[in-house]
Chains A and B, each alone.
Chain A
Amino acid sequence: MNPFAALGLPAGPGLTDDQVRAAWRAVAAATHPDRDDGGDPAAYSAAAAAYAQLRTGWGRSEALADLTAVSYVPPADPAAVGPAASAWRMLVILPARVRHGRPLRLVIRALIAAAVALLAVTLIPGNPSEPAVVAGAGLWWLLTARGDLAPPPGR
């Protein structure tokens, strides 16, 4: 929930205590359940919650920081969820890590590794070096690609 929106305020760092209080009073007056028309209890509740959060400068800063963060839910602690679930989560976030990293470099590296592997398959078929070179190209790509990924959440 956006607490600024609940009070009809613009989300910004320049709000003062008085502005927040004035907005809360206005919303409370318009939505209070004691009104003749029954008010809007849900909106009142949301506004009360928002006011509690935004009434201090610290609370406003924290709320603003929450809003400006990227909408991604971090995975739970790997130790708590077990290695299999942790590996699955890492796999799920891999596309995002690639996107926020250096995808072009990753692709170039992948192309180089693929080209080396292709050369091995084409030029030395049947030789014991063929699978070794293919494995080496893959290993090189895996080892060097890590730096081109964005760090996982929380790191």
Chain B
Amino acid sequence: MLSILRTLLLLWLLKQAFRLLRALLAAAVLVLLWPVTVAAAAAASTAWLLGWPPARLYRAAAWSLPVTAVYAVAAALRYRAWRAVALAPATNWQQASGLLIHGRVIAAILITAPVAVPAGLAVGGVAWAWRTAAVAAGRAGRHAFAPAVFDARQWKRQARAARGLLAAPGSVPLAARSGMVPVGAVIRVIGRRWTPVLAVPAGWFARHMVIIGASGTGKTNLMIRLWAGWYAAALQASRHGKPRPLLAALDCKGGPDARAKADRTRRVLRGVGARRIAIWPDEASLSLWTLPPRDLAVLLYQMTEHGDGAAAYYADMTQAVLTLAVGAPPGPPGSAQQFLDRLDAGWLEDAYATGRPGELAMLRAARPHVGDIQLRYATLLGRLGRALDGPGRLTDADAWYFILEGTSEPSVAEAQAMALTELIAHAATDRRAEPRAMLLAADDYSAVSRRVPLSNLYERGRSLGLGVMVSAQSWQGLGKDDDERYRIAATADGGLWVMQTPYPEPLSHLAGTRRVLESARKLLGTAWGDEGTTRIQHAWTADPDLIRRLHTGQACYIHRGTATFVQVARPKPSPLTLPAAARPPTVPAARDGRHQDHGRDAPTVPLPAIPADGPPPLDDVLGPAKGSVS
């Protein structure tokens, strides 16, 4: 028995001696390589304090390598012998150790810095990566809460570092030279490579995006930044032969703050090169009547609500009358008034009197209802207002900001949204017009989602070359039912932007899970024992609890099974921009008898002509009323 105990004691002593020896050996190496040790300790401590990821240390190490290269060249020039050059770091280490002993710390650090800094940063990065992984897996830390506490503390530090980066005016510009769209400072990445600034390729916008965030979470900032970035990148591409950009932003909520948002959007877009930004309906109008007759008839039919059952008869009747009115022999109507004039049995019969017996028979059948249909459409078009009655085309401007009063007049906003999306889809498919790279963004889409199924446009958009971006305040606002919501979110290959929202689970599901190590340790009383298990578990890629706790301006970008938490930078154009300098003149200076042709940039708003033989007589200018000159 005693011999067994003695053997056990001996084994224990041997084990402890081995551990001690290993620790002493490690300490000796650390002391021997003191310059690298100091640099690594400083790097890892800085990363811990500022919430930096290990990748940041690796990048810093890589950027320090030119210094080492200069050192190598200087050593080669000085020693002119390969052996001496190869031993230069050791020689300098020896010199530095001597200086350190004599108290000349700064000189010692300076001598060793060219080699010790890159090496120390790399070693510090490895140590920091090991430490974070160990704590996350539950293999390090003093108590069971250590992983959670460590993560929460690091999140705070990472968020603070991201905010600090944004304070620098040039760190996150609206557009990058390489066609990327910078969005903000990265707080944390999961499943992808870390970069200090999250930049999204402009091409991803054509693959559709979804933005979800409660009111006051910085959603508008994010959207304006994305619009401006996309516009700048597309404009840059257009200088290399790609189509010119055209942005259509639908503010589906409306209200007084929509005007302020529109004004801000205009300022930012002008800063990145947009010249004509139209605000609808306040400052510019569009013509619904430019749509092809078939599309126009379908749209007009869809703009009114129809019932089921017996009401289907009247719906069919309405559709037939609309098709006849729009497709009448004189050609499609050019205005709301012309259209309403056609919803008259007499007019229609006259129009189809010759050689159209089939249509005439239909008209006779529908005759009792034509008056009702006219009344219904007079009411609808009256409520829609004049802003869809022209003049103006979508291609007249570089960007459109559409304000729909979705809060105060939801049914009108829905009808307007239907008309506008149809006009946009038509502009995207119109083969006779100049091809444009288009982005349709619907802000607060929930206000009109009941009757405007953007998922259809989503699915068609890619083939049309039309990018669609939808924002809603919640998952529920993304569509009328879960099918519709999933169709929109799951086809957003450009990515999902999730800001603070109380119900992010469906979006987190779309991001998927990642494999993590989870350790369990045996407790002896209140202390850790030395036994335990580790196993692979699945954890959220985009943690819904973290998303619920996001602060204003913070967003989680979910893309292809990765999540990037980012502090969105406030969209602010460069103070050095002047759009006016490149603005084409809007009126002819020469008296050439007609408007100057400003090329494809020319607006279609009619301008006063100055005849070749001089200005018009005053009465022509001023009109017949007051103000004549004797």
* A132-B74 in contact given A48-B610, A69-B578 (Cβ < 8 Å): yes
Q: Which residues of B contact A123 (CB under 8 A)?
A: 104, 106-107, 110
CA distance A13 to B112 in the complex (A): 64
Tell me the dominant secondary structure on chain A's binding face.
Answer: helix
Q: Which residues of A contact B574 (CB under 8 A)?
A: 100, 150-155
Measured CB to CB, the closest approach of chain B to A76, in angstroms, equals 9
Instruction: Assess the A49–B587 pair: CB atoms within 8 A.
Output: yes
Taking a contact as CB atoms closer than 8 A, the residue among A45, A97, A143 that contacts B576 in the complex is A97
Instruction: Assess the A153–B577 pair: CB atoms within 8 A.
Output: yes
Instruction: Assess the A29–B629 pair: CB atoms within 8 A.
Output: yes
Instruction: Assess the A154–B577 pair: CB atoms within 8 A.
Output: yes
Q: Please, what's the 1-or-0 string for B294-317, where 1 marks a CB less than 8 Å from any CB in chain A? A: 000000000000000000000000
Quick check: is B17 within 8 A (CB to CB) of the other chain? Answer: no
Instruction: Assess the A135–B615 pair: CB atoms within 8 A.
Output: no
CA distance A123 to B86 in the complex (A): 23
Quick check: is B566 within 8 A (CB to CB) of the other chain? Answer: no
Instruction: Assess the B169–A57 pair: CB atoms within 8 A.
Output: no
Measured CB to CB, the closest approach of chain B to A131, in angstroms, equals 5
A-B contact count (CB 8 A): 218
By size class, the interface of chain B is 35 or more
How many residues belonging to A are interface residues under a CB distance threshold of 8 Å?
Answer: 69
Instruction: Assess the B270–A58 pair: CB atoms within 8 A.
Output: no
Quick check: is B92 within 8 A (CB to CB) of the other chain? Answer: yes
Instruction: Assess the B276–A79 pair: CB atoms within 8 A.
Output: no
Measured CB to CB, the closest approach of chain A to B477, in angstroms, equals 31
Taking a contact as CB atoms closer than 8 A, the residue among B63, B110, B585, B586 that contacts A129 in the complex is B110
Q: Which residues of B contact A61 (CB under 8 A)?
A: 266, 279, 283
Measured CB to CB, the closest approach of chain A to B282, in angstroms, equals 6
Instruction: Assess the A74–B576 pair: CB atoms within 8 A.
Output: yes
Instruction: Assess the A148–B617 pair: CB atoms within 8 A.
Output: no
Measured CB to CB, the closest approach of chain A to B92, in angstroms, equals 6
Q: Which of A61-91 contact B (CB under 8 A)?
A: 61-62, 65-67, 69-74, 77-80
Taking a contact as CB atoms closer than 8 A, the residue among A66, A129, A143, A148 that contacts B580 in the complex is A66
Quick check: is B232 within 8 A (CB to CB) of the other chain? Answer: yes
Stretch at the interface among B65-73, B124-132, B446-454: B65-73
Quick check: is B461 within 8 A (CB to CB) of the other chain? Answer: no
CA distance A58 to B110 in the complex (A): 63
Q: Which residues of A contact B177 (CB under 8 A)?
A: 78, 155
Q: Please, what's the 1-or-0 string for B547-575, where 1 marks a CB less than 8 Å from any CB in chain A? A: 00000000000000000000000000011
Taking a contact as CB atoms closer than 8 A, the residue among A48, A59, A100 that contacts B605 in the complex is A59
CA distance A73 to B117 in the complex (A): 44
Quick check: is B278 within 8 A (CB to CB) of the other chain? Answer: yes
Quick check: is A8 within 8 A (CB to CB) of the other chain? Answer: no
Quick check: is B111 within 8 A (CB to CB) of the other chain? Answer: yes
Residue from A100, A132, A136 with most neighbouring chain B CB atoms (10 Å):
A132
CA distance A29 to B66 in the complex (A): 72
CA distance A60 to B382 in the complex (A): 27
Quick check: is A112 within 8 A (CB to CB) of the other chain? Answer: no
Quick check: is B81 within 8 A (CB to CB) of the other chain? Answer: no
Quick check: is B45 within 8 A (CB to CB) of the other chain? Answer: no
Instruction: Assess the B576–A70 pair: CB atoms within 8 A.
Output: yes
Nearest residue in A to B579 (C-beta to C-beta)? A69
* A150-B67 in contact given A33-B614, A128-B75, A128-B78 (Cβ < 8 Å): no
Quick check: is B254 within 8 A (CB to CB) of the other chain? Answer: no
Instruction: Assess the B589–A154 pair: CB atoms within 8 A.
Output: no
CA distance A33 to B629 in the complex (A): 11
Instruction: Assess the A146–B170 pair: CB atoms within 8 A.
Output: yes
Instruction: Assess the A143–B63 pair: CB atoms within 8 A.
Output: yes
Taking a contact as CB atoms closer than 8 A, the residue among B67, B104, B581, B587 that contacts A133 in the complex is B67
Instruction: Assess the B174–A151 pair: CB atoms within 8 A.
Output: yes
Instruction: Assess the A151–B587 pair: CB atoms within 8 A.
Output: no
Instruction: Assess the A129–B114 pair: CB atoms within 8 A.
Output: yes
Q: Which of B110-125 contact A (CB under 8 A)?
A: 110-114, 117
Measured CB to CB, the closest approach of chain B to A105, in angstroms, equals 8
Residue from B63, B282, B576 with most neighbouring chain A CB atoms (10 Å):
B576
Measured CB to CB, the closest approach of chain A to B511, in angstroms, equals 30
Quick check: is B168 within 8 A (CB to CB) of the other chain? Answer: yes
Q: Which residues of B contact A44 (CB under 8 A)?
A: 615
Quick check: is B176 within 8 A (CB to CB) of the other chain? Answer: yes
Please list 9 pairs of residues, one from A and one from B, whose beta carbons are closer than 8 Å in the complex, sorted by A's number: A77-B236, A78-B177, A96-B576, A102-B168, A128-B92, A135-B70, A154-B272, A155-B176, A155-B272
